Chains A and B, each alone.
Chain A
Amino acid sequence: MGSYNFKVDLKGIIRLLSDNLYSSDKVFLRELLQNSVDAVDARKKAEPEFKDGRINVYYRKKADGAQIIFEDNGIGLNKEEIHTFLSVIGQSSKRDTEVRNSFIGQFGIGLLSCFLASNEIKVLTRAASEEKGYQWIGKSDGSYAITALRKEIPVGTQVHLELTGRKYEVFTEREIIDDLAEYGYMLLTPVYFKGEEQEKILNQNFIPWRQPFSVSDDILGFGEQLLGETFFDVVPLSGEGMKGYAFISARQSSANSAARHKIYLKNMFITEDGQNVVPKWAFFIRCVLNVEDLTPTASRESFIKDQKLLHVKSQIEKSIFDYFVTLSQYDVRKLKQLTSIHNLAIKSLVVENEQIFKLFFPFLTFPTSQGVMTGFQIVSASQKIPVNYTVDVDEFRRICPLLEGTNSLLVNGGYVYDASILQRLPRYYKNVRVKAFDENSYENLLEEPPGELRDKMAYFIECAMDALRPFQCKVSLKSFSPNPLQALYVQGEEDFLSEAMDAGSLSGFFEGFDLGKEEGTGSSLYLNSNNNFIKNLGQVRNQDFIKVIVQVIYIQALLGGHYTLDGKKMEVMNKSLQSLMEYAMLGGVGLEGDLPC
């Protein structure tokens, strides 16, 4: 027996990093950049007089591929530190120092990511406190060697990688420049790229919040450059440990499309995915944000969901709300414009928050029986006339024709958010009478027919009731608009409810309850006594013929109301039409043969 140490299969670890931790192999560029930034920062802390931190990235083509060198004039590593920090996986120089929180490379696995690009890593380093430098060569098979360097090198670190084969094809000079420019866009330490095709500084960029003052056009331009689209307006975001902007998209956005943001941690680009940072409802907003204090995940491609993250999110939310409040007070024209571009996005907002509801509702638009109206117009109308809304688009289409000539307003609440918004109205606005339209509301639209006509139609109605009994549909005569509309079908209590009630209580529990025919129970076909065709139907006395006519009217009413016809009703429609045609062919002689239902 004895004590042993765990052995590490380096190839296995690298595979784990590649398959499970990092989203892409190019992260080694960020890791190396991060290491250089951290080294420069460490040197600045250790040597307050050191001001000219610098990172150089070289790209050189070779016979069988290319070589990348990351060079910095940061704090470097001495021999002991090389053994400890480069060769022990999981040990980061940055984790054990008191200033750990200044560095984001704290997990000790960043350098390993270089094996995603190269089979060998060569590090030349000289610590600020040493005269001599060292060379460390690590290989993907897990072996490494350290030698003292004879020739003098400056204080700092160089990391050499050889890109060959497939890696060389993937990591072209162009790709590397673009990736480094993205990662390092906001870094304070200058990053110089020297390649075969180009030599340039990658991060000499205009960052508005670092300027003494910036005009909004410049800020919008900054956003356009970083995010690749034009914006309507910009909201400054500043708070504890964060700085940035929320850009309001100039075009309509969808809640389902993944919004691209730029989120930086201590000036290093982390992610485009803002879902944990930007409120869900803000899908019309793109953020450029630099945070100081959030905790990255091990891959440094996202953030740990903790209190700090929630705090940032709530600060962003507050900034956007305050912006809307300011607009409502000082720039209503802009608020209107914003609402018209992002009508749907803002509707999703107003259902979340009372303050936003009151801000925006007057400007939101809704389809109504009197055309598209704003919230303000609807509220004004409700002070004078009854206002109802449907929760279904088809219901709206059905009811609209009935409202011609009536003094009422119907709002189409069938689109997403609309019913939710309308049903909140009475809560936020006093004396607003806006109600959901239901089966009972039909009663207000249907008037009793003249007594004389009702008497004439009595026999017809009686036969009609028989004809539609198989469909559990009542028939009655009413007066409504518009006159050309022959009949109106109103779906009442669902069939399964009616069946349950008619069948009697199988359970035995509801005997004794007076649950019987409530208003609206059962479907109804209302024949329009204002319609000339309907008025003349009282002359028809042939019962079979009445049955056919009523069934045709019934099917027409269903189709007109955008109801779906099931197989049974389709069959009725076909047979009824056929019967009518036969009747016409026979010159008005009575029907023969089997009749539908």
Chain B
Amino acid sequence: MLMENVKTQNLASRELADVIKRLQKMTDGRYDVQFYKDNGQTLMQMIKKIMRLSKQEKEWYVYFVSLYESIHVSSRSGEKMMVIKYAEIFYRDSALYMDRELPNYLDTDMKNLNIYIYGTIFRNYLSFYQIDDNKMKKFMEMYETAALKYGKTYMYYESEMEMGILYHDLEMAEHGRRYFEKYEHDMNTCYVCGHEQYLGYYLLCGDIDLAEKLMQDFRQKRIPQKYQWCYKNCELAQEDYAMFYEILKYSLIAGSPEGFRLFYQKYWLTLPKEKRREDTLFMFCCAITGDFDELDEKDLRMAEKDVRDCGRMTTLGTMIDSLNWMCYFRLLDRSGIREVMIELPDLLKNDNGKTNSLAISRYFEQRADEAGTKLGRARAKFDYPMLKNTCLECAGI
């Protein structure tokens, strides 16, 4: 539920209370990503109204909670650019108002929400080329300061592990892991989400067995008793397709084609057919299997949508999706389907209105290379060629 801890009966403004209650009712019990993707627009309309009214009414606690939700919902609903915008509001308004208007905020859940904001911003900054090494360094310093101040230090080191995995920097990942384990006793959020980076860490270390064991532990609920509650709420903990997606994604990012092959064959293939096309990465898996059964109804439409939506996505997201589609269309061509009906901007069609599969593959390769080069220039440690080769090897190309 969004804005769960806001007690509307204490608010002077009935209008504000009413819209918060409606938001709470609408999101009660909803934790799945698809819900936020489907309804992000609606939710953001309400959240923006709450931000405006609460600032007007000087209900500062409500204002900052709604600011947190704006970042949270933007990120979950795929509006990554909006996270960047709202982050600016957060920096400015927390500096201007937090200490002055909410002097006791360290005794409220605002303390936790502040660090969650940093965590969400981190995940988005990490994936945008516009955040270069200097900016990233500056942000990580702010993040670390906040983590120490607010007492959720483990979150900072969780993020450090993620960064180490992306950069293939084992030393950084190891440092993050050591300090994460030092502070993780403070964790009061979902255990599975809080430890999923270990999947990538083990793959980065080359230990596929340990990564598999961890995933199985998550699936079989072999986690500490006090965190069992997360199986009620967390999509990653509950749904196999969500878990398999994560481990396949980490296999690519960590540069483990062997890992990818294992998890794709042993796990992804066990998913029911209707769950095998949930995401672009899964489409990539379908192509590896030679499953083009829903080419026109689903696959091509998803490729079109990914291109349409690229303005809302991160650099890394665009890059991985484009690499997936690059491989997809090459495999499609290999399967004998040489041309298809697809609408992609700036891509020429043949006289019959169709486009060559290989031409589409090159189109996506170009997009991936462009994104990869940009991110590579911005971050000295990011190795785009390795990621590209991993994808090609996974696809058997």
Contacts and interface: CB of A to CB of B under 8 A. Distances in A.
Given A509-B131, A509-B135, A420 B25 contact: yes
A417 interface: yes
Interface residues of A, number: 30
A33 B23 CA distance: 49
A513 B81 contact: yes
Interface stretch (B84-92, B170-178, B217-225): B84-92
A494 B42 contact: no
B126 to A, nearest CB: 13
Nearest to A504: B88
Interface in B21-65: 21-22, 25-26, 28-29, 38-39, 41-42, 45-46, 48-49, 51-52, 55
B167 to A, nearest CB: 20
Nearest to A418: B22
A506 interface: yes
A416 B22 contact: yes
Interface string A467-505: 000000000000000000000000000111100110101
Contacts of B45: 391-392, 436, 438
A505 B39 contact: no
Interface string A504-542: 011111111101000000000000000000000000000
A470 B26 CA distance: 37
Given A391-B42, A420-B26, A513-B130, A505 B88 contact: yes
A495 B21 CA distance: 24
A501 B51 CA distance: 17
Contact of A508 (B22, B51, B55, B135): B135
A500 B89 contact: yes
Nearest to A352: B29
A416 B84 contact: no
A436 B138 CA distance: 39
A509 B88 contact: yes
Contact of B42 (A423, A500, A510): A423
Interface of B is mostly: helix
Contacts of A506: 88, 91-92
A436 B42 contact: yes
A509 B85 contact: no
Contact of A423 (B38, B49, B93): B38
B263 interface: no
A494 B45 CA distance: 10
Interface in B113-147: 125, 128, 130-131, 135, 138-139
B41 A512 contact: no
Interface residues on B, range: 20 to 34
Interface string A423-462: 1001100000000101000000000000000000000000
A430 to B, nearest CB: 13
A10 interface: no
Q: Which of A494, A496, A505 has the most CB of B within 10 A?
A: A496
Contacts of A392: 19, 45-46, 49
Contacts of B48: 494
A403 interface: no
B48 to A, nearest CB: 6
B139 A510 contact: no
A513 B84 contact: yes
Interface string A343-381: 000000001100000000000000000000000000000
A419 interface: yes
Given A494-B48, A496-B51, A512-B130, A507 B88 contact: yes
A416 B89 contact: no
A392 B85 CA distance: 24
Contacts of B19: 392
A419 B89 contact: no
Nearest to A390: B45
B89 A497 contact: yes
A510 B22 contact: no
B42 A417 contact: no
Contacts of B41: 436, 438
Given A494-B52, A508-B138, A515-B81, A419 B26 contact: yes
Contact of B92 (A417, A500, A515): A500
B42 A509 contact: no
A352 B89 CA distance: 35
A438 B42 CA distance: 8
A515 B85 CA distance: 8
Contacts of A352: 29
A9 B88 CA distance: 65
A492 to B, nearest CB: 10
Contacts of B93: 496
Contact of B85 (A351, A417, A500, A511): A500
B269 to A, nearest CB: 27
A392 B55 CA distance: 19
Contacts of B131: 509
Contacts of A505: 88
Contacts of B81: 513, 515
A420 B21 CA distance: 12
Contacts of B21: 416
A327 B131 CA distance: 59
Nearest to B311: A514
Interface string B229-272: 00000000000000000000000000000000000000000000
A503 B51 CA distance: 19
A508 B142 CA distance: 13
B38 A427 contact: yes
Contacts of B135: 508-509
A496 B125 contact: no
A419 B44 CA distance: 13
A392 B128 CA distance: 34
Contacts of A423: 26, 38-39, 42
Nearest to B42: A436
B183 to A, nearest CB: 26
Contacts of A495: 52
Given A351-B25, A507-B91, A509-B84, A496 B55 contact: yes
Contact of A500 (B39, B55, B88, B138): B88
Contacts of A416: 21-22, 25
A416 B18 CA distance: 9
Given A426-B38, A438-B45, 9 more contacts: A391-B42, A423-B42, A436-B41, A496-B93, A497-B89, A506-B88, A507-B87, A507-B92, A515-B81
Interface of A: 351-352, 391-392, 416-417, 419-420, 423, 426-427, 436, 438, 494-497, 500-501, 503, 505-513, 515
10 contacts: A351-B26, A416-B21, A420-B26, A436-B41, A496-B89, A503-B92, A506-B88, A506-B92, A508-B135, A515-B81
User: Considering the complex of A and B, which 9 residue pairs feature the smallest CB-CB distances, nearest first?
Assistant: A512-B130, A436-B42, A420-B26, A507-B91, A500-B88, A423-B39, A513-B130, A500-B89, A494-B52
